[in-house]
Amino acid sequence: ELKVEQNPLFLSMQEGKNYTIYCNYSTTSDRLYWYRQDPGKSLESLFVLLSNGAVKQEGRLMASLDTKARLSTLHITAAVHDLSATYFCAVEHGSGNTGKLIFGQGTTLQVKP
């Protein structure tokens, strides 16, 4: 059974600091996603990572994937208050585009001025 674990689950940081959120998963998968969710809102897609060594960047967020270690990271550079949200990683269950995403517990990021 595929399990997805994120850490930390809660992160409070100062503006301007850097930090990394980790996502570990238990079995081989073809695709890994990062989503953002603001309080009371829906999920917004951030990144899709497909292959070992894949790196994607958008603004202050950078995601990477190590399929051998079954690990993805979401790195936050020089955090700003607008980045405060809950971040989920999700891994596709099985192989061959199954459509079934298994989500982590989420990491709630609070950026303080």
Partner 1 sequence: GAGVSQSPRYKVTKRGQDVALRCDPISGHVSLYWYRQALGQGPEFLTYFNYEAQQDKSGLPNDRFSAERPEGSISTLTIQRTEQRDSAMYRCASSLQGGLATDTQYFGPGTRLTVL
Token pair 């503006």 is at which residue? 15
Which residue number, 33 or 74, has a Cβ lying nearer to partner 1?
Answer: 33
CA–CA separation, 55 vs 10, rounded Å? 24
Considering only CA atoms, which of 29, 84, 81, 21 is closest in space to residue 51?
Answer: 29
Q: Which is nearer to partner 1, 18 or 95 (CB)?
A: 95
Nearer to partner 1, 68 or 97 (CB): 97
Nearest-approach distance from CB 101 to partner 1, in angstroms? 6
CB of 16 to partner 1, least distance (A): 28
* 40 exposure class (CB count in 10 Å sphere: 0-12, 13-18, 19+): exposed
The nearer residue to partner 1, 37 or 77, going by C-beta atoms, is: 37
The Cα–Cα gap between 88 and 82 comes to: 17
Kindly list the residues in this chain that would bind partner 1 in the complex (CB under 8 A): 4, 30-31, 33, 35, 41-45, 48, 50, 88, 90, 93, 97-106
CB of 59 to partner 1, least distance (A): 18
